[in-house]
Amino acid sequence: MACGRRFPLSRREVAAATGVLASYMVGLVGLYLTMPTSDYRFLKLPRTLEDLRILRDHLESYTSDYTLQVLMCYFTVYIFMQTFMIPGTVFMSLLAGSLFGVVGGMVLVIVAATAGASSCFFLSKMIGRPLVFSLWPDKLTFFQAQVAKRREKLFNYMLFLRVTPTLPNTFINMASPIVNVPYRVFFLATSIGLIPAAYVTVRAGTALGELRSVADLYDFQSIATLFFIGIVTLSPTFLSKGQK
């Protein structure tokens, strides 16, 4: 695998990333200016369940009076976090369940997560090659070999990766354009494959007060269920091999 120039990014690549970052920041500032005058010191990315509960308690009243603004802020922040690989989207998914319930939270999380993954995909397509080679050389070699081997049933393989925790989602978002995964396959596998995990997280968010640890979200039973669903998604690949 020829990697060419690995790192650092060229000036053009840095400028492209800076432009994307600036556009998100302008959007967030614009949304902030549409909110009523108040003390917004509680607005910060949650890093613990306690942070999340404080944020939820403050946002509940705003959600009923300024639903559109809250939705747009949530959507923009979620996409921003996924685009720039900022950890903590699990807390955002819990927040969606807590504020909008299971159905509303599911729709919001799946749309935001798919849009964020897509944004990361295209940003990586522009500037991500040196970063992916630098951060995950071994994973990239493995991923490229698997994609090449499963090209005929690539959708099933990508769906399996999304459903199961086999590879980190951040890596999949960044590496997919590097190993020539078509965006149509990437988009469909992402939007469908994220549903099981999103349901688990959003549903837990509806009972946020009872959740003791983020680790409780994915116990052995939950992980086993995700792998079972993942194996089912690969069944067409196994069947096609058996028929040859």
Burial (CB count <10 Å: 0-12, 13-18, 19+), residue 105: buried
Convert the pLDDT of each residue in 74-120 to its tens digit.
998 999 899 888 999 999 999 999 999 999 999 999 999 999 999 99
Please state, as a whole number, how many other Cβ atoms lie within 10 Å of the Cβ of residue 98.
25
pTM for the structure as a whole? 0.81
CA geometry: angle at 229 spanning 210 and 112, to 5°? 60
For the CA atoms of 33, 34, 40, 46, the dihedral, rounded to the nearest 10 degrees, stands at -100
Convert the pLDDT of each residue in 150-209 to its tens digit.
998 899 999 999 988 889 999 999 999 999 999 999 999 999 999 988 988 998 999 888
Cα gap 217→194, rounded to integer Å:
15
Q: Tokens 């086993």 belong to which residue?
A: 224
Residue type, 87: P
For the ranges 22-36, 50-64, 95-109, 221-235, the lowest mean pLDDT is seen at 221-235
Please state, as a whole number, how many other Cβ atoms lie within 10 Å of the Cβ of residue 185.
17
CA geometry: angle at 149 spanning 144 and 151, to 5°? 90
Q: Which of 188, 186, 182, 196 minimizes the C-alpha distance to 230?
A: 196
Q: Tokens 């988009």 belong to which residue?
A: 187
Question: Is 23's pLDDT higher than 80?
Answer: no
Q: Sorting pLDDT into bands at 50, 70 and 90, what band is 36?
A: low
Contacts of 133 (CB under 8 A, 6+ apart): 3, 6, 7, 140
Q: Which is more confident, 13 or 88? A: 88
Q: Check residue 130 and give its pLDDT.
A: 87
Q: Check residue 109 and give its pLDDT.
A: 95
